[in-house]
């Protein structure tokens, strides 16, 4: 009998009533092949599927579970809050408390607004940037993912000044025409757009630590260039820190690099595993939002009390337990363990804080076009054997791994050994 019997049965049922059998495409395991395990529960740094198989988890719900699964303080906060009611569509003290905490910890922020997802946060920040500047176009970068709103699902054309083309069905070409695609680590590609569209560009948006298409660590000089050119031409600079915010430190990449963007977007960690997003910036910009200004943004579940409580509890634990210093030690330990196990095999263990990306090529890329297809194919081919050995990695060679405070050095050694064994068994 298959060790994944229950998951296989659930998947057969799922494909009959859910497109592709999943509610988010990467869960389908299309890149790595095979059927996805269906998860029953999480305990600390482990996942347990419906068949009872246990895995050391390096997906951590794609980042937000910085404390691990089912942390008692988070469960208590969720249960106490939900017992009072799960949603009101009205203001609560919890959203004020979390906003105060976020503004206090992230120096560039003066005001913040909560939404329900990272996609919604970015969509709202871009609308705000357009409303504030009175301009329509934005520059984004090939290799940065900012959610699935229409005007961000675009790809580069054939030249620096080529307007974006839709890369998803259902996205009107007119929407994509306002999105300009530049290259990471390439000042010239950005300058060319400003030379041609200087009076039309509302904002430049970037993941300062690009982590959705590999972990493409950028030069500080490049990020500072973006700050300088946007300020010079009265456009806004938006840091999308949905992944890096409250993951690589209290102030995220903005604090690490010492660069102050005009707007920032957040998600993941500040919801403690519950659906949440946020965007914020200077008061003069944020006050353009309704009800004060003419830029409309709303959400019935924005500032949901259960999510606010989970986020507050998460940040309090990180604060009380010197969480980021501990995470740095654990992540550095895991990086060294992986390097040791993969010695003699062409690989790079790229790391930024608790974000880790193993890529099977000689040089660590800074741009999407620097990722070798063979390296991704190799990761994808190894995924099932690593899963079968009890280590749960994100099901795509382009996705990063996450370390949590629930991981122990023993678990990290075990996971590194499993990955090493799979590579050596090829």
Residue 340 half-sphere exposure, CB side, CA atoms within 13 Å? 13
Catalytic residue among 4, 11, 55, 145: 145
- Which of these, 71, 50, 45, lies nearest to 60 by C-alpha position? 45
Catalytic residue among 57, 183, 185, 240: 240
- Which of these, 123, 105, 92, lies nearest to 242 by C-alpha position? 123
Q: What's the burial of 221, exposed, middle or buried (CB within 10 Å: 0-12/13-18/19+)?
A: exposed
Catalytic residue list contains 145: yes
| SS3 sequence of 389-404 | CCEECCCCCCCCEECC
Instruction: Give me the phi and psi of 401, to 5 degrees please.
Output: -95, 155
* The Cα angle at residue 421 between residues 329 and 372, in degrees rounded to 5: 80
Q: CA 40 → CA 33, 50, 161, distances in Å? A: 21, 5, 49
How many Å is the Cα radius of gyration of the chain?
21
Catalytic residue list contains 40: no
Catalytic residue among 105, 137, 140, 268: 268
Q: Is the dihedral of CA 323, 324, 329, 330 positive or negative?
A: positive
Cβ–Cβ contacts within 10 Å for residue 291, how many?
6
265 neighbors 115 (Cβ within 8 angstroms): no
The CA distance from 221 to 206, in Å, is 14
Catalytic residue list contains 240: yes
Catalytic residue numbers, as ranges? 145, 240, 268
């Amino acid at each position: 009998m298959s060790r994944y019997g229950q998951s296989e049965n659930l998947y057969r049922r799922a494909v009959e009533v859910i497109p592709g059998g999943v509610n988010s495409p990467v869960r389908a395991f299309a890149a790595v092949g095979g059927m996805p395990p269906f998860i029953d529960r999480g305990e600390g740094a482990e996942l347990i599927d419906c068949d009872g198989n246990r895995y050391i988890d390096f997906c951590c719900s794609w980042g937000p579970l910085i404390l691990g699964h089912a942390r008692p303080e988070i469960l208590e906060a969720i249960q106490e809050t939900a017992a009072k009611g799960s949603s009101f569509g009205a203001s609560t003290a919890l959203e004020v408390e979390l906003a105060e905490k976020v503004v206090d910890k992230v120096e560039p922020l003066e005001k913040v607004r909560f939404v329900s997802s990272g996609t919604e946060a970015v969509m709202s920040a871009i609308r705000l940037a357009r409303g504030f500047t009175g301009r329509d176009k934005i520059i984004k970068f090939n290799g940065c993912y900012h959610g699935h709103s229409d005007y961000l699902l675009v790809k580069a054309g054939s030249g620096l000044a080529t307007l974006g083309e839709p890369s998803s069905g259902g996205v009107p070409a007119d929407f994509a025409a306002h999105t300009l695609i530049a290259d990471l680590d390439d000042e010239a590609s950005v300058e060319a757009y400003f030379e041609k569209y200087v009076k039309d560009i509302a904002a430049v948006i970037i993941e300062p630590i690009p982590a959705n298409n590999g972990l493409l660590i950028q030069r500080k000089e490049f990020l500072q260039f973006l700050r300088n050119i946007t300020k010079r031409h009265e456009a806004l600079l938006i840091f999308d820190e949905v992944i890096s915010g409250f993951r690589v430190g209290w102030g995220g990449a903005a604090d690490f690099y010492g660069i102050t963007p005009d707007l920032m977007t957040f998600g993941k960690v500040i919801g403690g595993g519950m659906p949440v997003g946020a965007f914020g910036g200077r008061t003069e910009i944020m006050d353009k939002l309704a009800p004060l200004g003419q830029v409309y943004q709303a959400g019935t579940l924005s500032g949901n009390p259960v999510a606010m409580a989970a986020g507050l509890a998460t940040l309090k634990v990180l604060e009380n337990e010197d969480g980021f210093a501990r995470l740095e030690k654990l992540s550095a330990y895991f990086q060294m363990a992986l390097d040791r196990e993969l010695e003699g095999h062409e690989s790079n263990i790229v790391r930024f804080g608790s974000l880790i990306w193993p890529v099977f090529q000689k040089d660590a890329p800074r741009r999407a076009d620097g990722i070798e297809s063979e390296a991704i194919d190799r990761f994808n081919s190894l995924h099932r054997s690593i899963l079968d050995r009890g280590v749960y990695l994100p099901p795509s060679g382009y996705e990063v791994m996450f370390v949590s405070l629930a991981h122990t050095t023993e678990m990290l050694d075990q996971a590194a050994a499993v990955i090493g064994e799979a590579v050596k068994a090829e």
